Amino acid sequence: MRHLLFLVVFSIACVLAVQAQTVDTAILGTVVDPAGAPVAGATVTILLPTTGLSRVVTTSPAGTYEARYLIPGEYIVETGPPGFRRERRTGVVIQLGQQARIDFSLKVGTVQETMEVNTGVPLLQMENATIAGVVDQQRIESLPINGRRFDDLAVLTPGVIVYNPDLHSSSTDGSEIGGNGGRLIWGQVNVDGITMVNNRHNYVNVYPSLDAIEEFKVQTGNYSAEYGGNAGTNINIQIKSGTKQFHGNAFEFFRNEALDARNYFLPAPQPKNELRQNQFGGTLGGPVWKDKTFFFVSYEGIRSIADSPSQGIVLTPGQRNGDFSYLLPVVQLIDPQTGADITGNMIPAGRIDKVAQTIVNQYMPLPNIPGATTPNSTNYAGSSRGNLTVHQSIIRVDHYFSTKDQLFAHYIYAHRNFPLTEINPNFKFTGTYPIHNFQAQYIHSFSPSLINEFRAGFDLENVAQLGTHTTAGFIESLGITGMKVNGPNGRPLRTDEEGFPLLGISGYIGMGDDFAASNLDNSRTYQFVDNVSFLKGKHTFKVGGDIRKLLDDATTNNTPFGDLSFTGDLSGDAAADYMLGVPRTVLTPEGVPITAARQWRFAFYGQDDWKATPKLTLNLGLRYDLFNPPQDINHSIYTLDFITNPAVPTFIPVTDPIWSITHRDFSPRIGFAYSATPNIVVRGGYGIFYFGGQFDHINILQLNPPTAGSVTILNQLGVGNLTTIENPMPPSANLASPPNAVTLPSDGKHPDTYVQNWNLQASRQFGKNDVLEVGYVGSKGTHVDTSFRYNWNQPDPGPGDIQSRRPYPNLSRIRMQSYGSNTIYHSLQTRFEHRLSTQLNLTAAYTYSHLIDDSANTTNDGGCQCQNPRNIRAERASSLFDQRHVLVVGYVWDIPYAKSWNGPAGALVSGWSFQGIVTLASGSPFDIQESSDTQNNDGIYERPNLTGEKISVSNRSPNNWFNTNAFTPSILVYGNSPRNPVVGPGKHEFDLSLGKIFKMPFNENHSLQFRAEFFNAFNTPQFANPDRFLGDGDFGKITSTNLPNRELQFGLKYKF
């Protein structure tokens, strides 16, 4: 509460403005007389017929006017000062964030004379150099979208890429959106100007129902100085408002696997993956108080069951009672405790581990495939099953006190519940994800040329993924003792950290709760913004800033409950090892503490949009961002100290500030728009954009000892005391290796990531309905987040023990955070749009680009996959996210019919529409690496050598994607294969929709729409990348797809 009070007082006192994502939609222009001289003091009225509300402004001495902060829609604009004929422009459609120019050249006459012109949608952007696209309501409601998520339509803007996880993914992460060579995490998504991204991973955490979205704007570069805090794509979503008449709908979309095609790699007679999915809901909007108050509400629910059949091997009743005689004469079992042979491979009853036997009988199912009685053969059929339930409610209220004062607010509540059961039905977890998003905005017009907008809101998300065995004392109830403390210097585990350890028997289905069963993330953002704009002659000024308080309480676990692996290295058979109770390795629970990350972010900016000449507009802006270093108020994170004892670094608590603060984040923005002719506009600009980071930078440090970190114990015959399943940490156990570490930069510096963006673009309008844009867009990323191996072997790869060759042998792998990565991006971007004709609306976006970097992964994603950390220059190559060609076409076609037909025939042939999205894209490059430690260099990121043969093949197929003979193992030396030498499969997807609207006979404003939607309509396999690890049996072969084969969805929607 103290923080909230301070934010409110500070925001109002400073009259600040918006950091990112004010949605300033405006109509502006110039009024001149027949001689071209400005007309000062002319009254201009802007009317929105759907609400009946109007805005009245007055022209300046320079004849200019503007009406800001309008709701997207279709307006009427008119003016008629004394002595001139009245002019009215109807059908003025403005989109979210658009600055629509409506100029008037008055004729002498009387106000009783009226000249009316239907303007339509202004297709040319004449006021700024922003690279952006708007997805309007027609496209949102009409185009086929698998899963009905808005961000899948963002690709209708050139240069945009979207990562959208499967609806049934066990990952908590939502969508990430990138553009113009920027990393996905650099994006920002807002609803009505308030953030809706998670602080820890920077993903989208709420998806407003498509039927609740008015439209959204995608900005990919060179946007105004009022936008910032992120270095990538900005998306602004506008929630619908109520109107003066009641409007609404009710809908249902249905899917069933019986309607879908088989996966390419799941031929008959294997069963299809089961899918039962219903998305349903409705909206209602209308007046509360005539011409004053309007409301809009929305609800959407999802009920979805996804079942993925699979098969595996389980222990037979004989194996569970010690009978391994079937292994003879090939394998003779030995007793790891004595080294003696086990007679007849029949483990005596007294040597069968009772804890292991009890667990396997209770938690591993028995064989269920008829006739599958042979041990070590597939004998069990099961499935993993996800049962998704989603509730989402939205309410928005708009109130107009007067023409000078307006207030609106929205509240969004979404709750996702996702129980997931693995192929072993005894193990599942339940994820709950409640989200609250609130926004309130107050707009006050001090005068027609001075407007203040204040906005406040929050975004709250609380992720909790817990297994069904997450209870106090559970591990002891299994008979396993000694694992509840995470190592010699650890601490007792919390209840949420207690669960079923992984018991992995090589070749068999597993037992235990995996990492997804212990994941907590409580992300909160409180945002206060204020925006001041004023018109002075030919200048439109905007000034202000933004304050945000970011909070995130989270824990990250890779092995939250521990891991016991049974491999067969001790007795001769993995299942026998298990029944004897002797694991090959024991990994204790990580015991990761909960970090409580906190951060303040401040931003200030000034922007001048100057109409320098009737044909030239200059956009001049400067922004300043201040990202305070985050801090962990729980004081639970540690880093390495390389100063006190450089030869033997030790873990020390991270102190505040976690790194040095940067005070130099100034971002100039320069742009121009030049109207060469009434139908040709040339635009260009340059800008710098800083990224405020994500809390993963601080949360990943929670993996370090002494408050976290697993101990790995290796069972070896004749070395130390053998660990058992009952006592996995006996005295004198053989520790496999020292702990790993993640550390901050040793110099304590943290330069903020920034991107330079530049563009030059020409637009040409053809007729009233068509516009073509062609442009060059480039960007350069500097101080990009990554991490490097810091404890690599010295000398270079070669023979000898790895650990003894490390610079710091008291530690294993060290990942040091770094901000030294770089990116460069060049592109040709084109966009064609045809809209507002009688029957066809079409948008086509094509991008030809090249993205180069030296690391594509953040610290949290593993950092730089550098083969030789001493030679980062060798890593410079086409990025993992590089796609040379991307073409996306979206179209909505109202099928024509003979309008002279009446009665039943007319009802049958009328109202049909055909919609679709076509996506044709190149594949992305990927790296080729060794599958084993051929270089004796810690076994990670090792590349092979080139043989000299050509990598590409002429007869490329899933079984022969590239020439595997072009690579040979790199034995005890660095490989000479470059980074990312092979390009993976592209994407060729056609999503189609056929719809029919039935007008209701009792009221023509009521209708029922039927839709059949075909995703991947032509059943084209969308192949994933092939196996890229030299030495694997499937090296060079494709064994999976990125997307399903054809899927069919039916929908019904009733509108009124």
Rounded Cα distance, 729 and 486, in Å? 11
Rounded Cα distance, 199 and 325, in Å? 56
Rounded to an integer, the average pLDDT of 503-509 is: 94
For the cut 50, the answer to whether the pLDDT of residue 830 exceeds it is yes
Per-residue CA distances from 831 to 133, 160, 848 (Å): 9, 12, 12
Rounded to an integer, the average pLDDT of 698-713 is: 83
pLDDT tens digits for range 301-322: 999 998 888 889 999 999 999 9
Tokens of residue 305, six digits: 């069951």
Q: Quick one: pLDDT at residue 93?
A: 87
Tokens of residue 899, six digits: 């309008």
For the cut 80, the answer to whether the pLDDT of residue 1047 exceeds it is yes
Closest CA to 771 of 133, 159, 161, 216: 133
Residue 349 near residue 322, CB atoms below 8 Å: yes
Rounded to an integer, the average pLDDT of 86-101 is: 87
Which of the two residues, 660 and 139, has the higher pLDDT score?
Answer: 139
Rounded Cα distance, 441 and 603, in Å? 19
For the cut 50, the answer to whether the pLDDT of residue 721 exceeds it is yes
Rounded Cα distance, 850 and 825, in Å? 6
Amino acid (one-letter) located at 598: R
When pLDDT is cut at 50, 70 and 90, the band that residue 37 belongs to is: confident
Rounded to an integer, the average pLDDT of 640-664 is: 89
Amino acid (one-letter) located at 445: S
For the cut 60, the answer to whether the pLDDT of residue 172 exceeds it is no
Rounded Cα distance, 839 and 688, in Å? 42
Q: What is the CA radius of gyration of the chain?
A: 32
Rounded Cα distance, 490 and 473, in Å? 18
Tokens of residue 965, six digits: 């003979």
User: 3-state class of 516 per DSSP?
Assistant: helix
Closest CA to 459 of 473, 438, 444: 438
User: 3-state class of 661 per DSSP?
Assistant: coil
Q: Quick one: pLDDT at residue 174?
A: 77
- Taking each continuous run of H as one helix and of E as one strand, the counts in the chain are 8, 55
Q: Quick one: pLDDT at residue 770?
A: 92
- Give percent above pLDDT 90 in the chain: 56
Rounded Cα distance, 227 and 498, in Å? 44
Residue 1054 near residue 1006, CB atoms below 8 Å: yes
Q: Give the up-direction half-sphere exposure of residue 368: CA atoms within 13 A in the CB hemisphere.
A: 12
Rounded Cα distance, 747 and 749, in Å? 6
- Give percent above pLDDT 70 in the chain: 93
pLDDT tens digits for range 540-569: 999 999 999 999 999 877 778 889 999 999
Tokens of residue 1019, six digits: 């059943």
Per-residue CA distances from 732 to 484, 489, 716, 728 (Å): 18, 16, 12, 11
Per-residue CA distances from 907 to 170, 903, 904, 996, 1010 (Å): 46, 6, 5, 10, 14
Q: Which domains does the chain have, with CATH numbers?
A: 20-118 (2.60.40.1120), 131-239 (2.170.130.10)
Closest CA to 893 of 918, 876, 870: 918
For the cut 70, the answer to whether the pLDDT of residue 631 exceeds it is yes
Q: Quick one: pLDDT at residue 938?
A: 79
Rounded to an integer, the average pLDDT of 485-509 is: 77
Residue 936 near residue 797, CB atoms below 8 Å: yes
Instruction: Determine the straight-line distance between the first and last CA of the chain, rounded to whole angstroms.
Output: 44
CA 160 to chain centre: 12
Q: Quick one: pLDDT at residue 783?
A: 94
When pLDDT is cut at 50, 70 and 90, the band that residue 12 belongs to is: very low
DSSP structural state of residue 1046: -
pLDDT tens digits for range 921-977: 999 999 999 998 899 987 678 999 999 999 999 999 999 999 999 999 999 999 999
Rounded Cα distance, 652 and 801, in Å? 28
The kind and range of the H/E element at 456 are strand 450-467
In 796-915, which residue ranges form alpha helices assigned H by DSSP?
903-909
When pLDDT is cut at 50, 70 and 90, the band that residue 900 belongs to is: low
At a CB cut-off of 8 Å and minimum separation 6, what does 443 contact?
69, 405, 406, 407, 451, 452, 453, 454
pLDDT tens digits for range 246-296: 999 999 999 999 899 988 888 777 778 888 999 999 999 999 998 899 999
Rounded to an integer, the average pLDDT of 713-724 is: 80
The residues pairing with 531 across neighbouring beta strands, listed in sequence order, are: 453, 544
Q: Quick one: pLDDT at residue 268?
A: 78
Per-residue CA distances from 287 to 21, 215, 444 (Å): 28, 21, 22
Per-residue CA distances from 6 to 1, 10, 13, 399 (Å): 9, 6, 10, 27
